Amino acid sequence: MDIRIGIVQSMKELDIELPESANREEIMKEVEAALGTDKILWLTDRKDRRVGVPASRIAYVEFATSSSERIVGFGTD
């Protein structure tokens, strides 16, 4: 599962690839619980790296599944 987090007053987004075993509903609950607080939202990516985002700086969160892979280049039908 991929998560894209927009940061307040930043042009860049934070893209995190979570393990396939990540539960979307649980992650959404963690995000909702952190928003509006002084907490830090901690997520662990596929490479076992911990990523912390101050909840007060989150502008938006976008969830995508791995099946919606980005296609680069030219395709033919």
Q: What tens digit of pLDDT does each residue of 16-25 get?
A: 998 888 888 8
Tokens of 42: 């901690």
Instruction: Give the domain ranges of the chain.
Output: 2-64
Question: Residue 32 belongs to what H/E stretch?
Answer: helix 24-34
For residue 69, pLDDT over 60 is answered with no
What is the band of 1 on the pLDDT scale with cuts at 50, 70, 90?
confident
Residue type, 9: Q
Longest dimension (CA), the chain: 50
Tokens of 59: 């502008």
Instruction: Give the global pTM.
Output: 0.72
Identify the pLDDT of residue 20.
Answer: 85
Q: What tens digit of pLDDT does each residue of 7-56 get?
A: 999 888 989 998 888 888 898 888 888 888 888 999 999 999 999 999 98
